[in-house]
Amino acid sequence: MFKRTLPFACFYAAFALGCGGNEKAHHEHEGEHHAAHGGCLNALGTCENGHAEAKLEGDVLMVWFVGGGSDTDKAVRIPDGEITLAVTIGGEKKARTLVLTSKPNELAEEKEGDCSRFEGKADWLRGMTEFVATGRVTFKGKPQDVRIEYPKGYDPD
Amino acid sequence: MRFPTLVLKSLRQHWLSTALAVVSIGLGVALLVAVASLREQTHRNFVQEGLGVDAVLGPKGSPLQITLNALYHLEEMPGKVQWTYYKKVLGDEVVESGIPFITGHSYAGFRVNALDERFFTEFEYLPGRHFSFRPEDGGRGRMFAALDEAVAGAEAARELRIELGQTFNPTCGVNPGDPVHANDAIRFVGVLAPTGTPHDRAIYISLKTFYTLQGHGQDVADMAVNEEHREISGAYLKIRRIRGGAMHPGIQDLKYNVNQSAQAQLVIPNEVLPRLFSIIGWVDRVLLGIALLVTALALLFLFVALVSALRERRRDLALLRCLGATRRTVFGLVLCESLFISTLGALLGLAVGHGIVALASDYIRVETGLQFTSAYVTQADLYVLPAVLVLGAVAGLLPSVQAYRLGVLRNLTPIS
């Protein structure tokens, strides 16, 4: 009996393993959020609502407001001209203030008051490896708290 | 009698089942070899070569549709891009150069694309390779200079038997029944040397020729002079290189910014085409599965054929033992028969498989302009012979053991 069933069992196992490999990879891909600029994604309220992608280059903090879910490569324009962030650096009790101003991109056909990209510059940002920044923006027509946890990102879900 | 002669004589004795086993193994292997070759060559044509285009600026719509239209002359462009926007993209620091084009016209089943004449001098249809009109390369004539002049790709010229000086009237559209520009006769002044790419299957006119076709009316004719109103279907973009020849990483920011605009998008063919394969990848997996199944069934057939042949030949083998053949000899005889049939089947399969690829290559070249070759060697070609030999040995093992254990006296007793 065993002699007869062994080849079938081997064939079935090989077939099942062969089919299962891609299934796993597919599920992993579904849960992935891609940061279009290589920064860290910070959920605005929930991940499905939207994200603030933050990237620090030298003494400039760049923030892009993008969509939720899998739409992290789609810009969400906001009407605010400036965003004030309270930046808390690890070990410091008092938060520092950083003002981000809108940087409309011509190719994206953005303009002042209808822009998804913001930048803030400060000497103390240089060499910073970790911080938490909070603020408030008008996102998708509603006031929305912003929480940026750099560099790992913020995901309340 | 020498052992190999014994094996051949034995196979000849049951030639029908031997031939059937060889043919069935051959068909399975042929299917496997052909599917593997066509799969790999398709993948190479679409993904690795990328047709020399770093990025395509196109209208909003499906990126795959834009890639197929711009590079493979298939599908239709989902809209237009403003010339002024194209110029803005051209001004980005990561863009080295651009070649604007307009698609959507045809002639006798071949696309008629309008484009900048730099296409013939600067465009790289494959990395580092430019178009040629030189007779030694297989080209003829020259690039267009006047408004009523056109250039044909090699395949279009061959199929339509185009001669220099011959005229044609383009069709305003790519579908049967679309109106023909009856008052716009355009003359062929050049034929491009074959490139082995889909660019061989198109006809080219200048942008200005397109705008000034009589059938297009004054609004379109104005686009020839007024850049504010000018529209194009898209543009091939060349991206600056950084050290090591890699594309400037800023292309991702450029893509993000362009894709946020209301009218255009940036498509990177080498990102889009692998996605196409992930969508249709199951098709070739199913074909490979069928090929493997056919090969497995053929080997099963070999097993059954050997077992039934052994039943018929018990007396012969018993007699052979009486004449001095050892148990090992009869074991080896049956096993060698199995290996011989497997080898013959695998070789036949390799030959037929490459024959199928040769036939398919011709068809694919005519339909798409893509260059396939029957001489392409895949991993399947390298592994199929040893794999079939091993499986043939496995299939022949049980009959060989049965032959080894054959009782001489029992099988020599008179039947009646």
Q: Where are the domains of chain B?
A: 3-46+275-412, 55-267
Residue with more model confidence, A6 or B277: B277
Task: State the count of interchain CB pairs (< 8 A) between A and B.
Answer: 34
Residue with more model confidence, A63 or B39: A63
Report chain B residues whose CB lies below 8 A from the CB of A38: 252
Q: What is the predicted pLDDT for the residue at A1?
A: 38
DSSP single-letter state for residue B241? B
**Nearest residue in chain B measured CA to CA from A117:** B257
Any chain B CB within 8 A of the CB of A106?
yes
Cα B297 from Cα B236, distance rounded (Å): 50
Q: Test A109 with B260 for CB contact under 8 angstroms.
A: yes
Cα A74 from Cα B260, distance rounded (Å): 7
Question: Which helix (DSSP H) or strand (DSSP E) does residue A17 occupy?
Answer: helix A2-30
Q: What is the predicted pLDDT for the residue at A6?
A: 36
Nearest CB to B260; choose among A37, A38, A108: A108
Q: What is the predicted pLDDT for the residue at A20?
A: 35
Q: Test A116 with B260 for CB contact under 8 angstroms.
A: yes
A71 Cβ contact list (under 8 Å, min separation 6): none
Closest Cα partner for B99 from B142, B68, B130, B78?
Answer: B130
Q: How far is B253 from chain A (nearest CA, A)?
A: 7
Q: Test A37 with B261 for CB contact under 8 angstroms.
A: no
Report the SS3 class of residue A142.
Answer: strand
Q: Is a pLDDT exceeding 50 seen at residue A155?
A: yes
Looking at residue A61, its amino acid is L
Q: Is a pLDDT exceeding 50 seen at residue A37?
A: yes
Q: What is the predicted pLDDT for the residue at B416?
A: 60
Cα A75 from Cα A108, distance rounded (Å): 9
Banded model confidence at residue A116, pLDDT cuts 50, 70, 90: very high
Cα A151 from Cα A155, distance rounded (Å): 12
Residue with more model confidence, B74 or A136: A136
Any chain A CB within 8 A of the CB of B259?
yes
Cα B321 from Cα B318, distance rounded (Å): 5
Report chain A residues whose CB lies below 8 A from the CB of B258: 107-108
Q: What is the predicted pLDDT for the residue at B72?
A: 87
**Nearest residue in chain A measured CA to CA from B266:** A107
Q: Which residue has the tokens 């991702």?
A: B252
Any chain A CB within 8 A of the CB of B337?
no
Q: What is the predicted pLDDT for the residue at B303?
A: 82
A27 backbone dihedrals φ, ψ, rounded to 5°: -65, -40
Cα B21 from Cα B84, distance rounded (Å): 68
Q: How high is the ipTM of this complex?
A: 0.73
Contact between B193 and B132 under an 8 Å Cβ cutoff? The reply is: yes
Structure tokens, B222: 């104005």
Contact between B174 and B111 under an 8 Å Cβ cutoff? The reply is: yes
Q: Test A109 with B89 for CB contact under 8 angstroms.
A: no
Structure tokens, B55: 């990025």
B269 Cβ contact list (under 8 Å, min separation 6): B50, B51, B53, B55, B56, B67, B71
Nearest CB to B89; choose among A37, A107, A110: A107
Q: What is the predicted pLDDT for the residue at B320?
A: 81
Beta-bridge mates of residue A57: A60
Any chain A CB within 8 A of the CB of B84?
no
Between residues 31 and 50 of chain A, which touch chain B (CB distance below 8 Å)? 36-38
| Segment-wise mean pLDDT, segments of 10 residues, chain B, 416 residues | 78 82 88 88 71 89 92 90 96 95 94 94 87 95 95 94 95 91 95 90 95 90 92 95 86 94 92 78 80 82 79 79 84 88 91 93 77 87 89 86 80 67
- Cα angle B185, B189, B191; round to 5: 120
Nearest CB to A105; choose among B252, B257, B263: B257
Strand order, beta sheet including A46-57: A40-44, A46-57, A60-66, A117-121, A96-102, A82-89, A131-139, A142-150
Question: Which helix (DSSP H) or strand (DSSP E) does residue B112 occupy?
Answer: strand B110-115
Cα B70 from Cα B101, distance rounded (Å): 8
Nearest CB to B256; choose among A36, A106, A109: A36
CA atoms within 13 A on the CB side of B163: 2
Contact between A144 and A87 under an 8 Å Cβ cutoff? The reply is: no
- Cα angle B21, B8, B413; round to 5: 90
What global pTM score does this model have? 0.73
DSSP string covering B28-92 = HHHHHHHHHHHHHHHHIIIIISGGG-SEEEEESS-HHHHHHHHHHS-S---S-EEHHHHHHHHTS
Helices (H), ranges, B206-250:
207-211, 217-223
Report the SS3 class of residue B393.
Answer: helix
A79 backbone dihedrals φ, ψ, rounded to 5°: -80, -15
Average model confidence (pLDDT) for chain A?
A: 81
Cα A78 from Cα A137, distance rounded (Å): 8
Q: Test A74 with B260 for CB contact under 8 angstroms.
A: yes
Report chain B residues whose CB lies below 8 A from the CB of A109: 260-263
| Distance from the Cα of residue B336 to its chain's centroid | 38
Distance between first and last Cα of chain A: 52
Q: Test B256 with A75 for CB contact under 8 angstroms.
A: yes
B129 backbone dihedrals φ, ψ, rounded to 5°: -115, 130
Looking at residue A8, its amino acid is F
Looking at residue B257, its amino acid is N
Report chain A residues whose CB lies below 8 A from the CB of B262: 109
Q: Is a pLDDT exceeding 60 seen at residue A31?
A: no
| Distance from the Cα of residue A48 to its chain's centroid | 11
Report the SS3 class of residue B25.
Answer: helix
Q: What is the predicted pLDDT for the residue at B334?
A: 86
Structure tokens, A117: 């990209």
- Cα angle B311, B317, B318; round to 5: 105
